[in-house]
Structure 1
């Protein structure tokens, strides 16, 4: 169990007396040894669709040294939620690229979707003498003990794509997921107005992985925005869990229940790919210019989504760029080690991609990250 700051404060008070100094040091060393034997903030500040930062957090004077006195490279620990998704493969590639660019030694783990395993992995990384910890949390609450342990060890924590609901995070780099959800809702409203002359129709909302800040924020943005259009009915709202198979099953059931569906919002492109397969299997796919076409918009900009857009199976994706996003987080670690100010929250910009702009210079400049990643 993670120590509370109150326990450290009480030890600090005891150690004020010279006679108790050795006793305190021995007790603290014993506790640290016991906890380290385990092998093992929150959400981003709302920002516009351009990179922005909140009030900076400066590295404290007592932060771990950027490198050992013998000139060794700073060792960075990285725990990723899963690699069973191209987006996270992109994050991994970005962390590796950023570490190389900044001259870091990188130690990384893959929690394979297991929140408790991720906590154990993070604690193990802390025991290896890392000078900074980068977390891509599976669950924003479950990760708190790892963040708090790093805080107690005075090791800065940098969260990537997903945040932590507790502990002190030095810098959180992610897209503005509330804005992303809002963008999807506005896009659907615009398309329905083109189809019917006003914002009306039946919409399906396939939610992301419950417990992640990304899913929570995208759902908030989408739900709050779509509610502004009283004639647009969200006929079904189910968890797709950022998973193709779960989204396929959810959408299959929804299609059986609702004969009229105009649009689907998938919280990520795995959700949308699952939905598209269900639409195909049900014999309800229609071309883009057909009024019976079920419009589908997702998020991330995966290779499957781009292929589906070109094939007319998916209408749009709100792309992120996990490679550049992750590399930015590693740059902030270098800045922190150099005792420069770093932003507590940094919003990486997104870009809506559809058939009209998929091959444009603007999209190429933003970066089709999935073309760089081989899963």
Structure 2
């Protein structure tokens, strides 16, 4: 995390209190419009094009943007793209038409929003990416990409899983399931890569037999059916890695329905506080680790980077190489009670 765990805890009450306000002002992309301005500031208008709303994580990230933009003196308007590139493309065009001074963007798709990237560049409007990167053919158009290092974070989860399986003396190969967001989304792809690399780096870990990936649309309800189908067909399933803790409640429902909840080891991603609490309350339960990706901090740092872009600070000075990666924070049952913040969802 950018400012450490203590800073994250201090912001917890603010995050929880403001989350509802973010939802109220976000407009969530209805009709493809740009929504209502959340703050009035003297430095001009800023847009935040969020990929979606509804799983809690997006709301916390939006709150980080909202809070920091208010401090910096900008008038912020936030919209949600409903996970649909065409909706987000329309929203970005509206922002351009409104003459925003800059844009914070969490892309719905790394390549499909290419026309928006071109339009922003043609309009000479600087933009900063948060959470989701662009396709390599577009990535250098952004002033800065602010995120956790997804490969490294997921790599830590792979290591934790390998250690946990070794401790069980589980014979290989072990059946394993990856629960992703959407087919082809860049977040899932990087987390897949990192987890498998981390697991493979641990000598003596049992071989994993990967079942076909399932897709839960980054939310709990979306994960129930696909995971239940796999768990029912594979009662000897041993390993589950979910690319976001937002899907874990659905995964739990599915595995309990299939009678597999107490038979698997699960690694998560995002350090959702409900998951952290479950590890603290059930240290011998199936969840063996999760890793924080700090949505609030991403929003704050992304806003700071956009402010620098607007002021003309060279990218080489503010965001060398075009990337700003937050450091991994791994949470296990051993330290879950220390990390837990009751007044924040992340």
Could you tell me the TM-score, scaled by structure 1's length?
Answer: 0.73
1:354 equivalent to 2:326? Answer no
Which residue pairs with 2:228 in the alignment? 252
Q: Return the offset for 1:236.
A: 4.0
For 1:3-28, what per-residue CA distance to the aligned partner results, in whole angstroms no more than 9, with x for missing partners?
A: xxxxxxxxxxxxxxxxxxxxxxxxxx
TM-aligned CA deviation for residue 339 of structure 1: 2.8
Q: Please say if 1:372 is aligned against 2:339.
A: no
**Other structure's SS at 1:245 match:** helix
Matched, 1:322 2:295: yes
Q: When you count helix as a share of all residues, which structure comes out higher?
A: 2
1:106 aligns with 2:79: no
Question: Match for residue 57 of structure 1?
Answer: none
CA contact (8 A) 1:89 1:373 kept: no
Residue 132 (structure 1) aligned to one of 89, 102, 122: 102
CA RMSD of aligned residues (A): 2.3
Shift of 1:148: 0.9
Unmatched runs of 5 consecutive residues or more in structure 1: 1-38, 41-70, 287-292
Quote the offset at 1:101 in angstroms: 1.8
* Equivalent residue, structure 1, for 2:250: 274
Contact 2:180 2:216 in 1 (8 A): yes
- Residues 132 and 211 of structure 1: is their aligned pair in 2 closer, same or farther, counting only changes over 3 Å? farther
Q: What is the match of residue 202 of structure 1?
A: 175
In structure 2, C-alpha distance between the alignment counterparts of 1:338 and 1:270, rounded to whole Å: 36
Shift of 1:88: 0.4
Q: Any idea what SS the aligned residue of 1:83 has?
A: coil
Partners of 1:185 and 1:238 in 2: CA distance: 18
* Structure 2 match to 1:186: 159
Q: CA deviation at 1:163?
A: 1.5
Q: Aligned pair count?
A: 294
Rounded Cα–Cα distance in structure 2 between residues aligned with 1:78 and 1:305: 28
TM norm structure 2: 0.78
Q: Is the 8 A contact 2:57 2:295 kept in 1?
A: yes
Q: Within 2, Cα distance between the matches of 1:107 and 1:204? A: 39
Rounded to whole Å, the distance in 1 between the matches of 2:281 and 2:211 is 27
Per-residue deviation at 1:331? 0.9
Structure 1 segments of 4 or more deviating over 4 A?
Answer: 197-200, 227-230
In structure 2, the partner of 1:115 is 85
Q: How many angstroms apart in 1 are the aligned matches of 2:318 and 2:109?
A: 24
Q: Is the 8 A contact 1:137 1:212 kept in 2?
A: no
Matched with 1:285 is 261
Following TM superposition, by how much is the alpha carbon of 1:227 offset from its aligned partner in structure 2, in angstroms?
Answer: 5.0
